[in-house]
Structure 1
Amino acid sequence: MQIRRDPGLVAAAVLAVVTLTVFGVFQNYGPESAVRRFHHAVAHNDLGEMAQVVTQGVDSTAVTQLVSIVKSALAKGSGYYRILTSDRSERQVVMLARYEGARPIVWVVVKARDRWRVDPYLTLQALRRLGY
């Protein structure tokens, strides 16, 4: 008995594997993913993940203050946020995120050591200009 292989089915399977691989690899790449991973680290109190996505040490005053602001924003609403706008340059992105039931937060993300990372100091400076 000979098994026939449908070339269309094989091509579809290969395309599916490639697509899933690409999305898996790039899921944690880009400035938006740094903000997403920061939120995840805050929600799960994961200092290891936090250390990977910030430009300063997790025990720095700036990180501690930013964590407090994010916890407060997430607690006031459903725990979700949405990026409304972003202003990009080659090594820095400034994003405005809206939180349900809370004030928006401006995020400053910089490319440091070839990875996008949240800069807590610059983020807090931007928030202070907004009256935080």
Structure 2
Amino acid sequence: MTATRLAGWRFLIRCGDRAVAAAETMLTPDGWAFSRFFEGPYIASTERALRQAETMPQPYQPRLLSVPGLYMLTLWLHEDCTADGATGHPAATDLLVPLAPAPPGIAAHRPHRVAELLPVLTHRVTPTRLLGSPA
């Protein structure tokens, strides 16, 4: 779970003072291109988490981390503000802010240190074998 890769860039589309939609890009043979536009609960949740991050005493580089196996998005607040946004791994002291709707048992908009939340996510994503099942 600690391996990450840049899958695209997300842009919030604003109308007045709030985000109303988002646009995502993907890498094509010709370079970056818009791949989809969408609405939904993650728009307001992303905006809320970004505002929350702006009030923190330490600056962070915001990244969006998707955990497809849990149908989960988190705002990943990377401590190294000068890092290349296309590379890197979550550091133990980075923060993850689950976006709403979050999976059951994980509180949305509560910042967690990577070292605290990553083991929980990894355990939930990793398939477990039942006793007596074929190997």
**Pair in the same fold by TM > 0.5:** no
TM-score range with shorter-chain normalisation?
0.3 to 0.5
Q: Which has the higher contact order (CA 8 A, sep 6+)?
A: 1
**TM-score normalized with structure 1 length:** 0.33
Instruction: Name whichever structure is richer in strand by fraction.
Output: 2
Instruction: Name whichever structure is richer in helix by fraction.
Output: 1
**Which of 1 and 2 has greater Rg?**
1
